[in-house]
Amino acid sequence: MAESSNPIRKVVIVGGGTAGWMTAAPLALGLARACDITLVESPEIGTVGVGEATLPTLRHYNMALGIDDADFVKKTQATFKLGIEFKDWGHTGNRFFHGFGDYGPEVENGAPHMAWLRLLRDVKDMPPLATFSTAAAMAGANKFTPPFGDAPGACNAYSYAYHFDASLYAAYLRDYAMRRGVTRIEGRIVDVEQHSETGFITAVKLDDGRRIEGDLFVDCSGFRGLLIEGVYQAGYDDWSAMLPCNSALAVPCEKTTPLTPYTTSTAKSAGWTWRIPLQHRTGNGHVYCNSFTSDQDAARVLLDGLDGRALDDPRQLRFTTGRRRKSWIKNCVAIGLSSGFLEPLESTSINIIENSVSWLLEHFPDRDCSPHLADEYNRLLSERFEYVRDFIILHYKLTNRTDSEFWRYCADMAIPDTLKHQIELFRETGRVAIYDEKGFSVSSHLAILLGLGVMPKRYNPLLDKMDPRPLLAHFARVRDVIQNTVAAMPDHADYIAGHVAAPALAA
């Protein structure tokens, strides 16, 4: 295959923060100085930095960059995340856990939850399915150690992610990228120049008169979409009818004990609050719909729920849930908030950035920027947004709460047919439809569906022919292995102190 005679010579990334530097780092590594990479960020735009929760896929992103895990955890004040604890979702007083991992090995070449459903019919005191999740057991005991080796049993039946200070992570990747040749320019963009015939962006102009030319422009400018919307009017699909929350308040507080290895999400009368423990403090926030509560009441709910002294005043964020109709137009690719926004209920924001950068590298163009590459990139990203959207809607739709207008709205709202099919298939047959094999797994859907009270009417009828005694023995073995494995693990705080504690902050 012939080498391109028209290669990209210069990539310009507009905007820093998490999205900008998560884009710059793999481009710097993947392009191996084959072209210049410049990142333009404004010093006027700050970051909240109260704590960010992630999915286990971030480990693979870091690993691909060759980042040392211990160094990263220390430098970003990170802790470990085994999943999310949900409180008061579905009904007040409800509590369940979405863990990173499965519910034990297959049973007779079938899904373990099917065998568990079969036993529910005959076994009066059958434990909840979450009993057979290693991640849930670890979280309940505040234990943590990484999975190791390929040994069978509970020791590798779970995964983990991180909680970290997002501003520290951006700074960490900035240093990584700049060591590999990325040029950082501080300045505020006041104008965008385009080719008179092709409409391609040719340069951005700063308020001090400097011009930054480029062949490919990556828009990491946040909600406003300086290039993708400001220049190309990409359009926006508004999903707020299905995901009505449109506001958030964020505030850090002093850390408290125990240091939990999970995120906590607590449903409130007009939304939900998050709690994200870091090594040096705890990140907190309240996501809500301002049509159902006032900003003042939302702030009160947030501050009243803190388990430590607030370290700042709550910071306000407004958003409209949805996605750009196109995230790649001509020679401009939008990554991060400029491509769309889904609330952080399942920690998917950074994951979508990971996907976006990976797909950009897979479909990296020459200077002509073939529209076929853009079409495929847009298809992949649009589908990913839709799959994540449906998974988040699931949390709201399956509610029995009638204590507020917000929850009554969620119970009655129309939802996508794809999600309706998933819910009804599970309710009727116990089977889980997965549209995105690289997205949330069967185990993740089970945690939410069962946690919100959807109990299947049926299960795989082939299991009726099985003697229930071997099934019971199987689950007893899984439970015993998990209990013994978790009992031998160190406390989460002790593991961090012994292996990855951040250097003491300077006085």
Task: State the catalytic residue, choosing from 10, 74, 81, 420.
Answer: 81
Q: At what angle do helices 442-451 and 371-397 cross, to 10 degrees?
A: 30
Is position 386 annotated in a ligand binding site?
no
In a domain, 395, yes or no: no
Q: Are strands 183-186 and 36-41 parallel, antiparallel or unpaired?
A: parallel
In a domain, 396, yes or no: no
Q: How confident is the model at residue 154 (pLDDT cuts 50, 70, 90)?
A: low
60-88 pLDDT per residue, tens: 999 999 999 999 999 999 999 999 999 99
Distance, in Å, from the CA atom of 459 to the CA atom of 279, rounded to the nearest integer, reads 44
Looking at 272, 294, 318, the residue that finishes a domain is: 318
In terms of domains, do 421 and 457 share one?
yes
Strands, E, within 340-495: which ranges? 340-341
In terms of domains, do 367 and 232 share one?
yes
Where is pLDDT greater, at 151 or 355? 355
Position 194 scores a pLDDT of 98
- Find the range with the poorest average confidence among 40-49, 183-192, 315-324, 457-466: 40-49
324-378 pLDDT per residue, tens: 999 999 999 999 999 999 999 999 999 999 999 999 999 999 999 999 999 999 9
* Phi and psi at residue 377, to the nearest 5°: -60, -45
In terms of domains, do 73 and 23 share one?
yes
In terms of domains, do 61 and 168 share one?
yes
Q: What is the pLDDT averaged over residues 165-178? A: 96
Is position 234 annotated in a ligand binding site?
no
Q: How confident is the model at residue 32 (pLDDT cuts 50, 70, 90)?
A: confident
Position 211 scores a pLDDT of 98
Is position 337 annotated in a ligand binding site?
yes
Is position 16 annotated in a ligand binding site?
yes
Position 124 scores a pLDDT of 86
Position 3 scores a pLDDT of 62
Is position 255 annotated in a ligand binding site?
no
Is the pLDDT score of 243 beyond 70?
yes
Looking at 287, 318, 349, the residue that finishes a domain is: 318
Cα four-point dihedral sign 268, 18, 139, 399 = positive
Q: How confident is the model at residue 506 (pLDDT cuts 50, 70, 90)?
A: very low
In terms of domains, do 182 and 54 share one?
yes
Q: How confident is the model at residue 4 (pLDDT cuts 50, 70, 90)?
A: low
In a domain, 355, yes or no: yes
In terms of domains, do 261 and 232 share one?
no
In a domain, 204, yes or no: yes
Is the pLDDT score of 381 beyond 80?
yes
In a domain, 502, yes or no: no
In terms of domains, do 329 and 276 share one?
no
Where is pLDDT greater, at 219 or 2? 219
Q: What is the pLDDT averaged over residues 188-211? A: 97
Position 109 scores a pLDDT of 83
Q: How confident is the model at residue 185 (pLDDT cuts 50, 70, 90)?
A: very high
Distance, in Å, from the CA atom of 328 to the CA atom of 378, rounded to the nearest integer, reads 6
Q: 3-class DSSP state for residue 190?
A: strand
Is the pLDDT score of 47 beyond 70?
no
The CA distances from residue 231 to 134, 194, 247, in Å, are 49, 9, 26
404-445 pLDDT per residue, tens: 999 999 999 999 999 999 999 999 999 999 999 989 999 999
In a domain, 280, yes or no: yes
Q: Which of 433, 400, 88, 389 is closest to 242 using CA atoms? A: 389
- What's the mean per-residue pLDDT of the chain? 94
Looking at 273, 296, 318, the residue that finishes a domain is: 318
Position 507 scores a pLDDT of 31
Residues shown for the chain: 507
In terms of domains, do 284 and 428 share one?
no
Show the tokens assigned to 276. 């994200």
Is position 346 annotated in a ligand binding site?
yes
In terms of domains, do 359 and 233 share one?
yes
In a domain, 5, yes or no: no
Q: 3-class DSSP state for residue 192?
A: strand
In a domain, 150, yes or no: yes
Position 122 scores a pLDDT of 87
Distance, in Å, from the CA atom of 327 to the CA atom of 340, rounded to the nearest integer, reads 9
* % of the chain beyond a pLDDT of 90: 91
Position 2 scores a pLDDT of 52
Is the pLDDT score of 50 beyond 60?
no
Sheet with 95-99, strands from edge to edge, namely 95-99, 83-87, 263-268, 271-277, 282-288, 247-253, 315-318
Q: Domain tally for the chain?
A: 3
Is position 120 annotated in a ligand binding site?
no
Sheet with 201-206, strands from edge to edge, namely 189-194, 201-206, 211-213
Q: How confident is the model at residue 48 (pLDDT cuts 50, 70, 90)?
A: very low
Q: What is the pLDDT averaged over residues 473-485? A: 94
Position 153 scores a pLDDT of 56
Distance, in Å, from the CA atom of 86 to the CA atom of 329, rounded to the nearest integer, reads 39
* Phi and psi at residue 297, to the nearest 5°: -70, -35
The parent domain of residue 219 ranges over 10-79+164-237+323-388
Active site residue 326: no
In terms of domains, do 271 and 382 share one?
no
CATH of the domain at 58: 3.50.50.60
Is position 17 annotated in a ligand binding site?
yes
